[in-house]
Amino acid sequence: MNIIHSIEEMKAEIHEFRKKGKSIGCVPTMGSLHEGHLSLVRQSLQTTDRTVVTIFINPAQFAPGEDFEQYPRDYDRDIGLLEREGVDIVFLPDMKDIYPPGYKTYVEVHDLQERLCGLSRPTFFRGVCTIVLKLFNIITPDRAFFGQKDAQQAIILQRMVRDLNLDILIEVLPIVRDADGLALSSRNAYLKDNERKAALTLSRSLRLAEKMIAEGERSAEKIREEMIALIQSVQGTRIDYIEIVDSEELLPLETLKSRVLVSLAVFIGRTRLIDNTQIILS
């Protein structure tokens, strides 16, 4: 496995892959890898000739006061995991090369970036789109892999790729959960024991929504009310948002129909966690 820090060296390797006619898969990450990331890596290994995993904790997607400084970092462990999977290249660019002094260019996917998580994190998706576009330009992947856990991110990146005429297939893979239902997230590491228990309310409220929908409920407001009640019954939780939206424009639905995204963000103590479920109604 090749560990590359330099952008120029990365581009040179891609050039070699291309000369040999190899297809390229890319899994952009911020490190602190878990089984969710590894499911993306395995899919890339299975569907492309060469897999590049990027590890870069992207300051542009953290607002002042968010957890950029504390965000968990364990590069040695990450590299060990990726080596075991058989990844071809780990790309670990330096901050000063990605955002050199005087850096000024940002990509925005209007409307979508302002909804759901965008309400409490107004510059988050601009940061995500910008780093992902830069990585795409460096790596020129045929396919890139993202988790359904970050549903809004995946929808925005698919739109960005389509709008900017990039020939990159964005594959979105299912949420990976612990046995108790908690969606895997690097930020779960912040949770104390009692918080970890409280955090189960996210997935439980989604299962409740699924059950109501399966039983025929189609009123978004009724489903939201029950989800809110369930989460508020658990001490130490604070709802950032619970929204039931269409999964293309991310606009709130009154009556559930077609492709529905039930998405939520909840603070457990000081840790903000997200989770979602997507349901297709006929």
- Looking at 101-109, 117-125, 191-199, 257-265, which segment touches a second copy (CB under 8 A)? 101-109
Which x/- pattern over 210-249 shows residues binding a second copy (rule: CB under 8 A)?
Answer: ---------------------------------------x
Is 15 considered catalytic here? no
* Of residues 105-144, those binding a second copy (CB under 8 A): 105-112, 129, 133-134, 137-138
Distances, alpha carbon 45 to alpha carbons 39, 42, 100, 108, 163, in Å: 10, 5, 32, 30, 27
* Minimum CB–partner distance for residue 7 and a second copy (Å): 6
Name the pairing type of β-strands 169-173 and 143-147: parallel
Q: Which residue out of 5, 34, 37, 110 is catalytically annotated?
A: 37
7: Cα separation from own chain's centroid: 23
Among 1, 3, 45, 166, which residue sits at the site for a second copy (rule: CB under 8 A)? 166
Cβ(24)–Cβ(141) under 8 Å? yes
CB atoms within 10 A of CB 238: 13
Among 65, 76, 101, 165, which residue sits at the site for a second copy (rule: CB under 8 A)? 165
| b/e burial code for range 11-33 (CB count within 10 A of at least 16 → b) | eebbeebeeeeeebbbbbbbbbb
Using CB atoms within 10 Å of the CB of residue 181, give its burial: 0 to 12 exposed, 13 to 18 middle, 19+ buried. middle
Dist. CA 220–CA 190, nearest whole Å: 32
Cβ(42)–Cβ(167) under 8 Å? no
Among 46, 102, 233, 280, which residue sits at the site for a second copy (rule: CB under 8 A)? 102
Query: Residue 81 interacts with a second copy (CB under 8 A)?
Result: no
| b/e burial code for range 245-258 (CB count within 10 A of at least 16 → b) | bebeebeebeebee
Dist. CA 85–CA 27, nearest whole Å: 13
Joined together, the tokens standing for residue 29 give: 């990450």
Among 20, 96, 104, 270, which residue sits at the site for a second copy (rule: CB under 8 A)? 104
Query: How many residues interact with a second copy (rule CB under 8 A)?
Result: 26
* Of residues 17-56, those binding a second copy (CB under 8 A): none
* Minimum CB–partner distance for residue 255 and a second copy (Å): 22
Query: Residue 16 interacts with a second copy (CB under 8 A)?
Result: no
The nearer residue to a second copy, 250 or 264, going by C-beta atoms, is 250
The nearer residue to a second copy, 155 or 227, going by C-beta atoms, is 155
Among 26, 160, 184, 206, which residue sits at the site for a second copy (rule: CB under 8 A)? 160
Contact footprint for a second copy (CB under 8 A)? 7, 11, 102-112, 129, 133-134, 137-138, 159-160, 163-167, 249
Among all residues, which ones are annotated catalytic?
37
